[in-house]
Amino acid sequence: MAAVPAPTVGLSFTSFFATDMVGLFEYYRGVFGLPEVEELRSEHFRGLQIGDTVIGFSRAETAYDLLELPRPTVADNGVRTFITFETQTDDQVDAMLEVAIAAGGTLVQAPHRTYYGAWQAVVLDPEGNAFRINHLP
């Protein structure tokens, strides 16, 4: 039997459910200077382009229904996922962290050298979503 070639898979979207969709969109656009994917703009969604991937911001009050997904039933402050933004230098990690905090983010971990050699900071955005600003030499 002939081997079946592995599918080519990419990451097209990663999305946040947001209470303040526009505010969260503006936060990430301001921190990372990413361009808007204007053709996706609607009353329910905003998107930012990063490489081949769109970071989506969906209006939580309507997105769960549109996607037919169950709404969370337990309110807690736990973090279930995080995304990582890769920079080209350690200095860029430090500079982007300053912007992220000034724009309303909360510092979780100050820039530090990880066990695998990355220079990294961990932040919560204004809605409590975690992200890392990272440089892996």
Q: Kindly report, residue by residue over 57-69, the tens digit of the pLDDT.
A: 999 889 888 887 8
Alpha-helical runs (H) found in 21-117: 21-32, 60-67, 90-102
Q: How far is the C-alpha of 47 from the C-alpha of 58, rounded, in Å?
A: 9
The domains found in the chain, sorted by start residue, are: 1-71 (3.10.180.10), 79-137 (3.10.180.10)
| pTM of the full structure | 0.81
75 pLDDT higher than 80 = no
Q: Give 63's DSSP letter.
A: H
